Amino acid sequence: MPEIILGIESSCDDTSAAVIRDGYLLSNVLASQDVHKSYGGVIPELASRAHQINIVPVVSEAITRAGITPDQITAIAFTRGPGLLGSLLVGTSFAKGLSLAIDRPLVEVNHLQGHILANFIKQEGAENRQPEFPYLCLLVSGGNSQIVRVNSPLEYEILGQTIDDAVGEAFDKCAKMMGLGYPGGPVVDRLAKEGDPLRFKFSKPHLPGYDYSFSGIKTSLLYFVRDQIALDPDFMEKNKADICASFQKALIDILMDKLIKAAKDTGIRQITIGGGVSANSGLRNRIEEEGRRRGWTTFLPEFKFTTDNAAMIAIAGWFHFRNGERTSIDVAPVSRLAEF
C-alpha cells in the first residue's frame, strides 16, 4: 500500500498544504498574506486570522490537485512549532479535527526539521539529487541561523547557531531602515545585483567556534547610514544599491566563514542549505563557488521549497511515520524550539 502523507504548515504568515506519496510530491498549495506589508513585519493576530480563512480551501485544493480522496490519506503531518503560537494553533487544530473525521493518525513535525529535509522531496521527472549522510546544513531564515550536522533523517546535532539575531532579521532590518519595504530579503538581493559589494565595509563579529552574531553588523549599518545622511541627505537614494551589495556580502561572508570551518573540522563534504534566506542568489552562488573550490557536493533546494511550505512538512512527517512515530490528539503547539 502506498504511504500518502498530507502535510499542513502554518507556523508564520503562509498557509500551506501538500500531499506526498512514498516520498514523491503530488501537490503543494500555498496562500500568502499581503496584509503585513504595510506594517513592515508580521502581525501575529492578523496572521492567525488569515490562517483561519485560508486553511480549509488550501487543504481542499491540495487534496484535489493530488488526485486523491481524503480516505486515501495514510497520515496527517503538521507543524507543531516553533513559530507564532496563534498561527500554529490554527494548523494544529485543523489537523486534529481532520484526524478525527477520517480516522487517520497525526504526526508532529519540527518546522526547522522540514527545512533541513527539503532536499529529500522527490518530484516526477526531476533529477531528485539527495545528500548522503552525514551532511552539513546551513539553516538560515528570519528566525534562525544554524549549522546542523545531519546524521540521518531523524538525527541531528546543532554545531553552531546565532547568539542574538538571525541573518534573515538582519536583511529585513536593513531593508526597513532604508525604506525598501517588507519582506526585505528579496529587495536587498535584487538591489545587490546592481551594486558594488566592495564599495563599503561593515564590521564583522569574531566569535569562537561555529556560533553566529548579527546584532553588531546591524548596528554598524545603522550608524554608518545615519552619519552619511547627516553629511548628504540624498546619500541613501544615490547609494542604496552599493549599500545593499556591500551589506549582503558582509552577511554572506559571516555565514560562509563558519560553514567552511565546520566542514574542515568535521571532514564532511556533503553541504546543503535551507530556510527562507537560502533563496538569496548571492548566498546560493557563494555556496556553489566554495563547493567547486573545496571539493564539496552541494545541494540547493528549489526556490519553492526555500520559504515556508507544506511539502517539507510532509516529507519530514513521512520519515517520522516510517519510524513508527504517532502524535497524541491532545498535543499542543509550541512557539519555541526549546519546548520540543
Strand partners, 25: 20
What pLDDT does 261 receive? Answer: 98
What CA–CA distance (Å, rounded) separates 212 from 335?
22
| Mean pLDDT score of the chain | 93
What pLDDT does 172 receive? Answer: 86
DSSP 13: S
Among candidates 155, 82, 89, 174, which has minimal Cα distance to 117?
Answer: 155
DSSP 124: T
Burial per residue of 40-61, b for 16 or more beta-carbon CB atoms within 10 angstroms, e otherwise: bebbbeebbbbbbebbeebbee
DSSP 132: P
Query: Cα dist. 329→81, 84, 92, 103, 109 in Å?
Result: 16, 20, 10, 11, 14
Phi then psi dihedrals of residue 152, to 5 deg: -165, 170
CA 89 to chain centre: 20
The model's pTM is: 0.94
What pLDDT does 218 receive? Answer: 86
Query: Cα dist. 178→61, 167, 269 in Å?
Result: 39, 17, 38
Which residue do the cell numbers 544599491 mark?
Answer: 241
What CA–CA distance (Å, rounded) separates 120 from 131?
8
Nearest-5° Cα angle at 152, 161 to 94: 80
Q: Are 34 and 27 in contact (CB under 8 A)?
A: no
- Give the strand order in the sheet containing 4-9: 24-31, 15-21, 4-9, 75-81, 106-110
What pLDDT does 34 receive? Answer: 64
Among candidates 139, 95, 101, which has minimal Cα distance to 5?
Answer: 95
pLDDT tens-digit profile, the chain (340 residues): 899 999 999 998 889 999 999 999 999 999 976 665 665 677 777 889 989 999 999 999 999 999 999 999 999 999 999 999 999 999 999 999 999 999 999 999 999 999 999 999 999 998 999 999 999 999 998 788 999 999 999 999 999 999 999 999 899 888 887 888 877 889 999 999 999 999 999 888 889 999 999 988 988 888 888 899 889 999 988 999 999 999 999 999 999 999 999 999 999 999 999 999 999 999 999 999 999 999 999 999 999 999 899 999 999 999 999 999 999 999 999 998 777 7
Residue 145 in grid coordinates: 541561523
DSSP helix, strand, coil percent of the chain (3-state; round to 5): 50, 20, 30
Q: Which long-range contacts (CB under 8 A, 24 or more apart) does 26-30 make?
A: 26/65, 26/66, 26/67, 26/68, 27/61, 27/62, 27/63, 27/64, 27/65, 27/66, 28/62, 28/304, 28/309, 28/310, 28/311, 29/58, 29/61, 29/62, 29/65, 29/310, 30/58, 30/307, 30/309, 30/310
Q: Are 297 and 291 in contact (CB under 8 A)?
A: yes
What CA–CA distance (Å, rounded) separates 180 from 317?
37
